[in-house]
Structure 1
Amino acid sequence: MRQVIFAAVPGLCALVWLYGSGPLSNLLWAASQAMACEALLVKLRGHPPGQALGDGSALLTALLLALALPPYSPWWLIALAVASAIGLGKQAYGGLGQNPFNPAMVGYALALVSFPQEMSRWPLPHTLDFATGLAQVFGQAGRPDGWSQATALDVLAHNDRLTLEELWQAPVFGLVGAAGSELVNFAFLAGGLWLLRQRLYTWHAPLGMLAALGLMSLLFWNGSGSDGNGSPLFHLFSGATMLGAFFIVTDPVSGAASPRGRLLFGAGVGVLVYVIRTWGGYPDGLAFAVLLMNLAAPLIEQCLARQGANR
């Protein structure tokens, strides 16, 4: 858990560079809520909270939520997401090692479905100072004019008339992906490669997700037309792609167990992410893709076991 948290630091630093103190305020509040919620629920279940708090899983869940939620999210939104992640996603099934779903994605998905307007308010990079951002967290001030705008994934998904060359003139687009998100994705890629080098997990799930997402975007990319849907590089370096590939689909509890199973699990997430981004109602869809594949993970392993037994 501590190595995964350490590997996420470059991505956190990139977010802080883009959005100021927002990601840090998310993290501090989410971490305190996660530790308190974990201690309370473990105690209510009749177990000593010390070991549960010491394994670092609650802190990691808080970190993933803090990275995924919009910077300067309202305090109550973070509290709701964290309580859902720890309570419904983890402790309701018996704690660490028993949860069939990724806890952070449970909390994120519930917040997204319940409060889509708040979850879509990503601030423009380099726009808010600490005092103004803190006022947003506690709802003490109205949102400044032009404070937020649609993300690149959202703009592309709802485009039906502009060519990609024309669309790329919008400030939300960068060199190959979303402006700002390119740097964040490169930072999470660097952290993920370090985790692979540490052999904390295998390459199967990350490669499966990235390869499937890249292949889907290549198959349905018809160049610069208004229905181009974005290039493979755009999809690989926009949204939460690298965070999902190296920090979420690699969850050893809610994912598949065997190497081939992990490869199929990651590929399923990649396909679903592209489907939801392109034809679904949500700009990214990583959380829903992961949760759907969490449901499919036992079936994947069962099918692979039967196939091995029939040989």
Structure 2
Amino acid sequence: MTQAPDPRLRTAMGLVLLACVPGLLALLWLQGWGVLFNLILCACAASASEALLLKLRGQQLLPSLVDGSALVTAVLLAAALPPYAPWWLPVLGASVAIGIGKQAFGGVGRNLFNPAMVGYAFVLLSFPLQMNHWPGPIPGLPESLQLVFGNASIDAWAQPTALDGLRHNRSLTVEELFARHPGFGIIGARPGEWVNLAFLLGGLFLLQRKVFSWHAPVGLLGGLLVFSLLGWNGSGSDSNGSPLLHLFSGSTMLAAFFIATEPVSGPKPALARLLFGIGAGLLIYLIRTWGNYPDGSAFAILLMNLAVPSLERLAMRRQQAAS
């Protein structure tokens, strides 16, 4: 007898996909056709990997293929990838996300790590050159197809991001960076500030629909805000960046509302979720400021996934002490 998919899971995944629409539209508008190619490639690779591994494990295909969890993983991974990476990179990232991040632990509801971030970290560590090419002027459709599926070099269109520019700056003040560097916008990265606002809108929608609680996103954003404020050393050439710059650059809002809130790999008690978010915010700031990667959201979430058992034990002890 075929097991029916969990309607609550399908509803939650559907709401998450709906909440991603503003951010995806912003990415598509500001970064071009490559975003759409990433979405299609990640979705196809995630679905195919899910079906193949379920078949190899002798599991029923229908519940997992239609519950929406693989598609959510694909969408979150696609949103984090450079839009003009070669076609095989999103395919490989999505396959690893499903195969190692999800099915290796037994499938939906059993993963210890956020699957999308497992796939992202794998391709970032394995192919750093391809993962650090971000578009400058948006190429048209023919150029986009050549970049993704052909052998064209992206160097003609690539430019450093705002976080890259801040990390490697040695001579310009922050005001001069905003005035001269093409990666900077009004308060954060261009186009990252608008993308972050769009994902913030989607995250607030999910909060209103009670898909998750406020603890993890508020903890992450609050932690990043506090630590970037404490580490803000002005606007000179050695500046670590203002709190607003950190909040509206990179993948901050995507990490806060769509990654840190993943219910399976995250902690269950409210206090543990709050501490999870604060720890992720701290790690994002530390990696951005002193690490080898300009963003660090993926590594921050994966490291906090390791800390989940300790956070849950701490929350349980606090709860028992208070009762």
In the superposition, the TM-score normalised over structure 2's length comes to 0.94
Query: Which residue matches 1:84?
Result: 96
Q: 2:135 aligns with which of 108, 117, 123?
A: 123
How many angstroms does 1:136 deviate by?
A: 1.0
Give yes or no for the alignment of 1:201 onto 2:201: no
Range with greater deviation from structure 2 (135-144 or 226-235): 135-144
| Aligned twin of 1:54 | 66
SS of alignment partner, residue 159 of structure 2: coil
Q: 2 CA distance for matches of 1:78 and 1:28?
A: 9
- Corresponding residue SS for 2:65: helix
2:27 maps to: 15
More displaced, 155-164 or 234-243? 155-164
Q: Is the 8 A contact 2:133 2:154 kept in 1?
A: no
In structure 2, how many angstroms separate the alpha carbons of the residues matched to 1:159 and 1:236?
19
Deviations 1:219-241 (A, max 9, x none): 01122112221111000000000
Matched with 2:121 is: 109
2:231 corresponds to which of 220, 235, 238? 220
Question: What corresponds to 1:244 in structure 2?
Answer: 255
Aligned counterpart for 1:283 among listed residues 294, 313, 316: 294
In structure 1, what residue type is equivalent to 2:265? S
Report % sequence identity. Answer: 58
In 2, the alpha carbon distance for the partners of 1:286 and 1:196 equals: 21
Residue 154 of structure 1 is aligned with which of 164, 171, 179?
164
Q: Mark the runs of 5 or more structure 2 residues left unpaired by the alignment.
A: 1-12
The CA distance in 2 between the partners of 1:49 and 1:246, in whole Å, is: 29
Equivalent-residue separation in structure 2 for 1:89 and 1:200 (angstroms):
22
Q: Secondary structure at the match of 1:8?
A: helix
Q: Which residue of 1 aligns with 2:79?
A: 67
- Once the two structures are superposed, what CA deviation does each residue of 1:169-199 show, in whole Å capped at 9, x if it has no partner? 2121111101111110000000000110101
Superposition TM-score, scaled by structure 1 size: 0.97
For the pair 1:98 / 2:113, whether they are aligned, the reply is no
Specify the SS of the correspondent of 2:186: coil
* Aligned residue among 256, 270, 283 for 2:281: 270
Matches of 1:144 and 1:84 in 2, distance apart?
Answer: 27
Classify the secondary structure of the residue corresponding to 1:227: coil
How far 1:153 sits from its partner (Å)? 0.3
Name the Cα RMSD after superposition. Answer: 1.1
CA offset at residue 141 of structure 1?
2.5
Q: Which runs of 5+ in 1 are unaligned?
A: none
Q: CA separation in 1, counterparts of 2:158 and 2:305? A: 33
1:168 partnered with 2:214: no
User: Is the Cα contact below 8 Å between 2:272 and 2:314 reproduced in 1?
Assistant: no
CA distance in 2, matches of 1:91, 1:100: 11
